[in-house]
Each structure stands twice: as C-alpha cells, then as structure tokens.
C-alpha cells in the first residue's frame, strides 16, 4: 500500500510529497526545499523510515516545485522526471529567480521524460499518469488507484484551481482537464495539492466555486 507524507516548503508554502510503501522505495514529488532546515526535515524523514529514494518527480516545473531538484540529485543521484513539455518552463527559471530575490540551484535535466499516459511502478505500488495542462503547459498528476489518492500539483485546490496567467497557462484547458480527467475519479479520492490542505474530488464537485 502506497503512503504519502507532505512537507510544506519555501516561501510559497509548496507541498513536497514523499510517496512510499512497505518495500521502502520512495518517490520525492515536487522537491521544493529551499532552506537547509527544509532539506534536513525531508532527509531525516527518509532516514527515520528507512526509505530508499528511487524517483524524483515533478508535476510541473514552476520555481516553487523545483527549488530542491538539484539537492535531491546531489543527495540521492536522482534526476527529475516530468513531461517534456515542461522543459521551457524549467529552462526559464534561472532568468527570473534573481529578479524575484531567490537563490536557485539549477536543476539537472531528465534522462527520462514521462509520457501523457501510462504508469510508474513504485515499490509494490503503481502511480497512473494523468495529463492535465492548463496551469502549466504539460502538467502531470499522479494517481494511486488502489489507495485512491491523487498527487495533484497545481491543478485543483481545496475551493480553488491553479492560476492560469503564467506562460503556458490557459483557463479553459485547465477547467476542461479537471472536469474530464479529475472529476471522473471516485468522489472519495483524496487530492493532495501543490499548496494548502488536502481535499476530495467529491467536495470539489459540490463546493468549488469554479464548478458550481
């Protein structure tokens, strides 16, 4: 059974997730660690639970989700994996990070890109890929069907949706993807978003102001 642990990181309070199972293998999703203390909290959790990082995954490549990509590579030898359509987003980060007052350690590029559909094996578990652009040009969500939870990135939040005013964003595309791909998941599916507290698909169908 896959389990998940959240770590709010960096000034954007971005949720970094560790997904793991009883095999000990784990994936670090959206490494957003910015400070040494944030790095230590994640590393210590991995040590304390005897986990072995085998995957570094990005739902998308905005700065707040990739701050820790280089750290994870240096610590565990893992290059990030994401959809190839996010490359322009990642490549742009070094140009705007200083203007925003951020130190940014440049992320390595993937050896392997993720497709729009398919599965990722993690320990004895499986994560299904859901391609849901709109917030960013090639955003992926990771769905654990057996455990019925979604690592949703910045697509769907509790009572809100991802912003669409950044390069590669599109409001209609985002709304369509949420309705056609996320709202077809079970109502009790827990959504772990890129920011804020978790929610469920059913709660958002009923209460999210963008859909009622």
* In contact, 43 and 75? CB cutoff 8 Å: yes
Pairing of strands 25-29, 52-57: parallel
* In contact, 51 and 23? CB cutoff 8 Å: no
Tokens (6 digits) for 97:
């990070």
How many Å from the N-terminal Cα to the C-terminal Cα in the chain?
A: 34
86 within a domain of the structure (yes/no) = yes
212 within a domain of the structure (yes/no) = no
Q: What is the pTM of this model?
A: 0.98
* Domain housing 102: 3-207
10 within a domain of the structure (yes/no) = yes
How many angstroms separate the CA atoms of 188 and 73, rounded? 35
pLDDT digits (tens, 9 = 90+) for 14-23: 999 999 999 9
pLDDT value, residue 63: 98
Question: What whole-number percentage of the chain has pLDDT above 70?
Answer: 100
How many angstroms separate the CA atoms of 49 and 203, rounded? 32
How many angstroms separate the CA atoms of 33 and 40, rounded? 9
Per-residue pLDDT tens, the chain, 212 aa: give them.
Answer: 999 999 999 999 999 999 999 999 999 999 999 999 999 999 999 999 999 999 999 999 999 999 999 999 999 999 999 999 999 999 999 999 999 999 999 999 999 999 999 999 999 999 999 999 999 999 999 999 999 999 999 999 999 999 999 999 999 999 999 999 999 999 999 999 999 999 999 999 999 999 98
52 within a domain of the structure (yes/no) = yes
Tokens (6 digits) for 58:
């990005």
121 within a domain of the structure (yes/no) = yes
58 within a domain of the structure (yes/no) = yes
How many angstroms separate the CA atoms of 78 and 53, rounded? 8
68 within a domain of the structure (yes/no) = yes
pLDDT value, residue 212: 85
* In contact, 66 and 39? CB cutoff 8 Å: no
182 within a domain of the structure (yes/no) = yes
Contacts of 48 (CB under 8 A, 6+ apart): none
Q: How many domains does the chain have?
A: 1
DSSP sequence for 93-138: HHHHTGGGT---PPPPPPSS-B-SS-EEEETTEEEEEEE--SSSTT
Dihedral (C-alpha) 176, 180, 185, 186: value to the nearest 10 degrees?
90
* In contact, 30 and 16? CB cutoff 8 Å: yes
Burial of 2 (0-12, 13-18, 19+ CB in 10 A): buried
What CATH number did the domain enclosing 101 receive?
Answer: 3.60.15.10
């Amino acid at each position: 059974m896959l389990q998940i642990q959240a770590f709010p990181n960096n000034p954007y309070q971005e949720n970094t997730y560790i997904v793991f199972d009883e095999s000990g293998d784990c994936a670090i999703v959206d490494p957003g660690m910015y400070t040494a203390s944030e790095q230590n909290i994640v590393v210590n959790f991995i040590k304390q639970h005897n986990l072995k990082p085998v995957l570094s995954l990005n739902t998308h490549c905005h700065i707040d989700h990739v701050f820790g990509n280089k750290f994870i590579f240096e610590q565990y030898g893992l290059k990030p994996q994401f959809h190839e359509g996010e490359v322009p987003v990642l490549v742009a980060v070094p140009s705007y990070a200083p203007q925003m007052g951020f130190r940014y350690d440049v992320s390595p590029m993937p050896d392997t890109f993720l497709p729009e559909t398919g599965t990722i094996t993690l320990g004895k578990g499986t994560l299904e890929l859901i391609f849901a652009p709109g917030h960013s040009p090639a955003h992926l969500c990771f769905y654990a069907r057996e455990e019925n939870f979604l690592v949703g990135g910045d697509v769907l939040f509790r009572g809100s949706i991802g912003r669409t005013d950044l390069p590669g964003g599109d409001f209609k595309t985002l709304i369509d993807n949420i309705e056609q791909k996320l709202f077809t998941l079970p109502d009790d599916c827990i959504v772990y978003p890129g920011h804020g507290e978790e929610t469920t698909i059913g709660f958002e169908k009923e209460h999210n102001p963008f859909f009622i």
